[in-house]
Structure 1
């Protein structure tokens, strides 16, 4: 059939880049309740405007001693595409609020990947230490229930000049807990005992699971609400020596770099020894994602029949089938540069008839982080030493 001459325009879709939020960016903010907001109810926010519609307005911070609006504002400033669950709860101490972390995760159907916790009441550094212990318990429960997440705490009561109020965090052996002591000095009067955990949470939600939030090229933190780096309580950064000491103690803070504009995080420390596998948040987020993916791939096979050969061993077709399920689950992480490589092995010699247990060994090679870049620099004489 012939057609008339014409200009044909096909309507395409996808050019705006709109997408469903990646699961890795789903974050949470837990805080003590105040009048006007229903407590122990999880609300999912996609913008600062959503927070205001929920009842979390700028004036809330003015009369409650809270920093909740500020934290949410910073979260969405760093990651406008962020996905944030919030929950107000009751409690008369920092530790009692932290103890509600797992309750919030369950109410969010296990979707939260990183959770910041704030508390508006008077809090000492000793109570912050107790909060770290509580947070450790909460993250361990979360992993046991197959809904792992990271907890980001405010370093309330922190004092950079005091050994008693700036202890080494590696002694807590809390690999899924981090403490932020960064604060904008210009906000210190309004939020005297608060840390910029919303800033850290926004950076984490923006980062791939393999990325360090201290990556200079990607995470310049400068902007409305954060323009002059300091510590909790309005303490100024006195020297590089102080920063090195606080970094060695494994706190997360902000800093500037000579010759480069902007404000940046120092690192992504967790409250465990720097020699441990999970000493940094990106290590945890990577293993947490792999954990969720592998479980989702294998769960449909739970209680399924497994054929064995005449010797009771797994036929190659069976072992390779399970290996294939795991490989398919992890291949996306390699493609997205979240892991460098992985290996999966199902031993065909295992005695599943006796144990009713199928063992899978999975290993992932993480993406490295250039925490230090060393350059050997010197002069060179093109004529050589003998001719000089």
Structure 2
């Protein structure tokens, strides 16, 4: 016999594709140095600006890389946006940090539990810095083994804490290789790997810039949306090359499923090319925006249905739910999703004005099974990734 619970499973194959808000609460886990009694490793701190970073005693002099990520985060997100920061030893590996079976202070699982499931995502940077391994597929091996652990961590957080999340990894030690590891062949739809930085040849990536943009936009928004304007950095690099001089590398990285910055002809500044996650690009949750949308729907549905757990239910003679109960449950769930998401422009409402539909099978025998099966579908936005235009002269001929 199982404990009473609400269980939500993600549907797949539904799309047919060949500011300071809890929705934007991210954590930065970064290799760093302790600072006296004000900034200890393996300890979580909440910051809201560079002033609060300085209050921890963290400076560019004593923590150059951490300072870089944090200053770039606030350049992008603006002061006032909350960020959870945890410094760890730079020599630890991403794989060890993200192993969800590890619960000691300093592990990412410990951080997720300490924040009581409030984190929507975690970025990991500046670790495994003493690695002498040569990148075999254009990326540090530790990043790829860590991606497996990060996916498991995200699935654990979803099923055990009802707190779905994504993990963004620094694509460390990127090298131009003939056979770059193809993330589109993987199944890590809760993991993104970024290969771009604001300095040349750092062996790291600009995790602060990535997290800053993600934290400052609503869940349905693609981090590469051109209308939102360029990223704040004045220069961005792919390995040793400036982004504008590495167009072929940018193309290859994008095609292989990495998050990478790009330039647009006629526009100043840099933009994220897209919000790829490390999985089949035709999957329902292959993009960060889609992942964040479905995760918010999950959290909202869980919170709503939890109020109904162990409630008395009117049933018919055959044990099926009374029609009034079915209608009430459906309306309650739809109202919660529409109020928290559709009304905020996070779901596509279409001509009917509704961004979701909740269905409960009225023929299920709840009296016999004590189980109510619910199907909830939300309507995401489409994204203009490809725009084809037929252009020619408009002329009128006589005769």
Q: Which residue is 2:97 aligned to?
A: 97
Q: Distance in 2 between matches of 1:261 and 1:316?
A: 59
Q: Which residue is 2:263 aligned to?
A: 256
SS in structure 2 at match of 1:257: coil
Structure 1 residue ranges without an equivalent (≥5): 1-19
Preserved CA contact (<8 Å) 2:20 2:216: no
Task: Name whichever of 278-287 and 336-345 sits farther off.
Answer: 336-345
Instruction: Provide TM-score, normalisation by structure 1.
Output: 0.86
Task: Name whichever of 262-271 and 370-379 sits farther off.
Answer: 370-379
- Following TM superposition, by how much is the alpha carbon of 1:101 offset from its aligned partner in structure 2, in angstroms? 2.0
Preserved CA contact (<8 Å) 1:102 1:141: no
Q: Which residue is 2:170 aligned to?
A: 154
Q: Deviations over 1:226-276 (max 9, x none)?
A: 2222124x3344443332221101111111111111211110000001111
1:338 aligns with 2:346: yes
Q: Which residue is 2:83 aligned to?
A: 84
Q: Deviations over 1:186-222 (max 9, x none)?
A: x336xx2220111110111111111101101104113
Alignment partner of 1:57 out of 46, 56, 59: 59
Q: Which residue is 1:8 aligned to?
A: none
- Following TM superposition, by how much is the alpha carbon of 1:33 offset from its aligned partner in structure 2, in angstroms? 4.7
Preserved CA contact (<8 Å) 2:347 2:379: yes
Q: Distance in 2 between matches of 1:227 and 1:321?
A: 54
Q: Which residue is 1:235 aligned to?
A: 241
User: Could you say which structure has the larger radius of gyration?
Assistant: 1
Q: Which residue is 1:9 aligned to?
A: none
Alignment partner of 1:374 out of 388, 392, 398: 388
Structure 2 residue ranges without an equivalent (≥5): 1-18, 100-106, 134-139, 349-354
- Following TM superposition, by how much is the alpha carbon of 1:34 offset from its aligned partner in structure 2, in angstroms? 2.2
- Following TM superposition, by how much is the alpha carbon of 1:132 offset from its aligned partner in structure 2, in angstroms? 1.2
Q: Distance in 1 between matches of 2:120 and 2:362?
A: 35
Preserved CA contact (<8 Å) 2:261 2:273: yes
Preserved CA contact (<8 Å) 1:75 1:82: no
Q: Which residue is 1:178 aligned to?
A: 192
Q: Distance in 2 between matches of 1:219 and 1:104?
A: 33
Alignment partner of 2:50 out of 48, 51, 69: 48
SS in structure 2 at match of 1:76: helix
- Following TM superposition, by how much is the alpha carbon of 1:289 offset from its aligned partner in structure 2, in angstroms? 0.3
Preserved CA contact (<8 Å) 2:32 2:66: no
Q: Deviations over 1:258-312 (max 9, x none)?
A: 1111211110000001111111000100000000001111112112221201222
Preserved CA contact (<8 Å) 2:24 2:215: yes
SS in structure 2 at match of 1:198: helix
1:39 aligns with 2:38: no
Preserved CA contact (<8 Å) 1:230 1:236: yes
Q: Distance in 1 between matches of 2:392 and 2:369?
A: 64
Backbone CA RMSD of aligned residues: 1.8
Q: Which residue is 1:217 aligned to?
A: 227
Task: Name whichever of 116-125 and 299-308 sits farther off.
Answer: 116-125
Q: Runs ≥4 in structure 1, deviation > 4 angstroms?
A: none
Alignment partner of 2:69 out of 68, 71, 81: 71
Q: Distance in 1 between matches of 2:211 and 2:252?
A: 24
Q: Which residue is 2:20 aligned to?
A: 21
Q: Distance in 2 between matches of 1:262 and 1:320?
A: 51
- Following TM superposition, by how much is the alpha carbon of 1:174 offset from its aligned partner in structure 2, in angstroms? 0.3
Q: Distance in 2 between matches of 1:105 and 1:280?
A: 22
Say if 1:242 and 1:87 are closer, same or farther in 2 by CA, change over 3 A.
closer
Alignment partner of 2:273 out of 266, 270, 274: 266
Instruction: Provide TM-score, normalisation by structure 2.
Output: 0.84
1:292 aligns with 2:299: yes
Say if 1:321 and 1:252 are closer, same or farther in 2 by CA, change over 3 A.
same
